Structure 1
Amino acid sequence: MLGVRLDSELEERLAAVARTQGRSKSDIAREAVRRYVERHDAAFLAEARRQSLAASAQDNRDDFAFWETIELASDTWK
């Protein structure tokens, strides 16, 4: 259960939309909150994926640099 306080202007606008659509204010508010949460969840997941890919790319660069150093060092040992 969630209670939300709206300023009078926003509540009047919400009521007008609800009447126009033949829906309750709660239905519209529930849909709005659901969309908001989904959009922000998607943004959070996208950012987490971006960071994971960036970290993976850095690991690959570190691995490449390590093996390149080993290869160069082994050339001097020959």
Structure 2
Amino acid sequence: MLGVRLDSELEARLAAVARTQGRSKSDIAREAVRRYVDLHDEAFRREARRQSLRASKRDTAEDDGFWTALAEERGA
């Protein structure tokens, strides 16, 4: 359950759209939120995928060298 506060102008516009479409304000708001989340969730997944592919192409020997040098520096 989610409660959302709208300014009076947006509430009136939403009510008008709901009337013209024969739908409830809640139904329209639910659809709008679903579309927003789908859009932004997909963008997040694309970015995660891009970073994962980029990391998989890195030279791991370079990373190993870094960690080895750090361990030696700390006397481990």
* Total equivalences in the alignment: 62
Per-residue CA deviation, residues 25-55 of structure 1 (Å, 9 max, x unaligned), is 0000000001111111100100000000110
- The residue that corresponds to 1:15 in the other structure is 15
Distance 2:13 2:54 in 1: 44
Counterpart-to-counterpart distance in 2, 1:63 and 1:50:
18
Shift of 1:57: 1.3
Structure 1, unmatched stretches of 5+, are 66-78
- Taking the aligned partners of 1:24 and 1:50, their CA distance within structure 2 comes to 39
The CA RMSD measured in Å over matched residues stands at 1.5
From the CA coordinates, give the structure whose radius of gyration is larger. 1
Q: Percent identity?
A: 81
TM-score, with structure 2 as normaliser: 0.76
Question: What residue is the counterpart of 1:6 in the other structure?
Answer: 6
User: Structure 1 residues 14 and 53, CA, compared in 2 at 3 Å: closer, same or farther?
Assistant: same
Runs of 4+ with >4 A deviation: none
- Following superposition, the deviation at residue 63 of structure 1 comes to 5.3
- Does residue 1:50 correspond to 2:50, yes or no? yes
- Tell me which protein shows more helix as a share of its residues: 1
